[in-house]
Amino acid sequence: MGFLSIMGNSLGCSASGERLVSAARDGDVQEAKALLDYNPRLAKYSTFGGRNSPLHYSAAKGHHEIVSLLIESGVDINLRNSRGQTALMQACLYGHWEVVQILMLFNANIHRMDYLSGGTALHFAALNGHTRCIRLLLADYVPSTPDFWNIVRRRLTNEASITFDEITTSRTLSEIVNRRADGGITALHMAALNGHVESMQLLLDLGACVSEVTVEDGTTIDLIGARSTPLHYAACGGNAVCCQILIARGASLTAKNANGHGIIAQADLQNLPIGKPTVFYETMNDIVYRGNGEGLKLETIVRSPRDTG
């Protein structure tokens, strides 16, 4: 009888757990609250196989009220699924800044890396250009000195010859911003490739390095090439504005990746989908934005951001 009782409790818990997963996924706050009031341990339930917890589902869908309920019920805020992803990573991937804000308030770990790509929450936010999520992730690491942003502004307008490390009391912020995923890919590489101008500018303001290069490790970065800089990635992505910004911040126009490809030829060497503009071909003085038929001279790309600040 004891064994049957245990089995009955286990099956009942599983059924209730699946109900909580459905409530978390669908944003049913009343159902989630009722289930957690009945059994707070359900917050730790995870689905079979994918091992996604109610916290993962609610974070991915942006249901911040349910995220709060689960945290109050004692869920492990840094719980991983089978891919090594935390709720913070999923919230950043889909741009749910309200969820990111809650998770950060409860000390979610931003340093965790997923098992598939070695990416952190910052990489996931940069991938899809979720600038507000990036701000929330890094807010605690920005120096609290009153003049920090003024010095950054002066540095960007060449009013002060100051390196980024000189305006912060520790290297922590720079290390986080420039942390590499598999293949040496940084958050700046991801933002540049996908044309996320605002996210890219923020990362640069916070110390992202324009000269970081990818490495050969058999991952999908081979599609672009090892030893590629963020400018290689921006060129391949076909975004002229991103290229302008990176050049203005000191990115090298002569850098070649491991395949021997320079910036200009990079995009044409990729088999980009039809309809997505390829960028930069032929000579250094004749860069053509062929996707829309508009010519864009190299000297214009280099000069305009530097002249306008």
Higher pLDDT, 150 or 170: 150
Q: Report, as an integer, the average pLDDT of 22-51.
A: 87
pLDDT in tens, 209-233: 999 999 987 655 456 788 999 998 9
* Domains annotated on the chain, with CATH: 21-109 (1.25.40.20)
Neighbouring-strand partners of residue 288: 295
Indicate the pTM of the whole model. 0.78
What is the 3-state secondary structure of 152-215?
Answer: HHHHHCCCCCCCHHHHCCCCHHHHHHCCCCHHHCCHHHHHHHCCCHHHHHHHHHCCCCCCCCCC
pLDDT in tens, 240-274: 889 889 989 999 888 888 877 676 655 555 443 32
pLDDT in tens, 58-113: 999 999 999 999 999 999 999 999 999 999 999 999 999 999 999 999 999 999 99
Token code pair at residue 279: 């960028």
Q: Report, as an integer, the average pLDDT of 178-202.
A: 95
CA separation, residue 63 to residues 17, 70, 96, 203 (Å)? 17, 11, 9, 27
- Whether the CB-CB separation of 287 and 264 falls below 8 Å is answered with yes
Does residue 198 register a pLDDT over 50? yes
Contacts of 240 (CB under 8 A, 6+ apart): 279, 289, 296, 301
- Whether the CB-CB separation of 95 and 130 falls below 8 Å is answered with yes
